[in-house]
Every structure is written in structure tokens, then in C-alpha cells.
Amino acid sequence: MDKDNLNLRKARILDVPQIHGLVNSFAAQGAMLGRSRSELYEGLRDFFVLEREGVVLGCSALHINWEDLAEVRSLAVAPEMQGQGLGKTLVNACVDEARSLGIARVFALTYRAKFFEGLGFSKVPKESLPQKVWSDCLKCPQFPNCDEDAVLMELA
């Protein structure tokens, strides 16, 4: 598959089943935190999708944590579309939205720190992030022995 005719847009209600399947396929591999449909519906406004003819091929979300901090989360690209820049497009959409909202810092918790570093993020100690960002970690099967890296981009 190629990346022609892909449409980047904010997610819609009808996208939730596909986002759910995509995110949770990676969660089943231990690559990210799974999300329930309820969580996806509640956080729908956080999500961007890349789709072609109604088929969601990638997604990401910008979750605002505080006045100066937001998280890029649930970044997932269909296996057949990986390596074509879709992840970069999705992360950049989140960063652009954070900038437009006046948010000073964007972070991610990831197993792919090098990918994020290539986009301008820097590795930081997890302990440098406010405790508030760890609420989702309680749902993670790796908690409290998290082996993800924290990456951060300063926008302001």
C-alpha cells in the first residue's frame, strides 16, 4: 500500500471501532497501553486519524495534562503502512495542535524513543514529569516496573 490519497483529520464517532482495533492490536503485543471503547469515546476530541476511503490506517491523540503540558498517546500505524512517514505526520499534527493551543511542552512515554528523537523530542528522566501524568500507568500491566522511555519537546 502507498500513502497516496491519505486524509489527515480529527477523529469522528464512526472511527472509534477502527481506532480501538488498531490501538489494541499493538497493546496485545505489549507495545502500548490498550484503550477501551469507552475511553476512546470520552477522549475522541483528542484523536487524529489518517484514513483512506473511510479505512483508518493510523491514529494519535494529544491529551492535555495541565496548562503547560500535553501527551502524545495512542500513536498507532497499520503494519502494512509503517515506514512511510505516517507516524511522523500524526505526531506533527499533535505538536501543531499543542502549539496552536499555547501548550509549552509535549511528552510521550514510548518504547520507540529514537523515533521521537528524530522528530525533535529529547529523552528525559520519567521522574521529571509531574505525578499527574502517571494516572494511566495504573492500568498498565507493566506497572510499577515501567520500562518505557519518557521523551519531551519544548514548544515555548
- Residue-wise pLDDT for 81-101, tens only, equals 999 999 999 999 999 999 999
Distance in angstroms (rounded) separating the CA atoms of residues 86 and 79? 11
2 part of a folded domain = no
CA gap 18, 147 in Å, rounded: 28
Evaluate whether residue 48 is within a structural domain. yes
154 exposure class (CB count in 10 Å sphere: 0-12, 13-18, 19+): exposed
For 78, other C-beta atoms within 10 Å of its C-beta total 18
129 located within any domain: yes
Distances 55 to 27, 45, 49 between C-alpha atoms, Å: 20, 19, 10
| Positive/negative CA dihedral, 17, 31, 149, 91 | negative
Residue 108's domain comprises: 7-154
Nearest by Cα to 116 from 64, 63, 75: 75
The answer as to whether 19 is a domain residue is yes
Q: Is residue 22 part of a domain?
A: yes
Joined together, the cell numbers standing for residue 111 give: 518504547
Q: Rounded to two decimals, what is the model's pTM? A: 0.90
Closest Cα to residue 155, out of 117, 100, 113, 88? 100
Residue at 86 is within a domain: yes
Q: Looking at residue 129, what is its pLDDT?
A: 80
pLDDT at 141 (0 to 100) = 54
Tell me, what CATH number does 15's domain have?
3.40.630.30
Residue 1 lies in a domain: no
Number of domains in the chain: 1
- SS in 3 state form for 120-139? CCEEECHHHCCHHHHHHHHH
Max CA separation in the chain (angstroms): 42
CB 14 within 8 A of CB 55: no
* Domain-embedded: residue 72: yes
Q: If pLDDT is split at 50, 70 and 90, which confidence band does 1 have?
A: very low
Q: What pLDDT is stored for residue 133 in this prediction?
A: 54
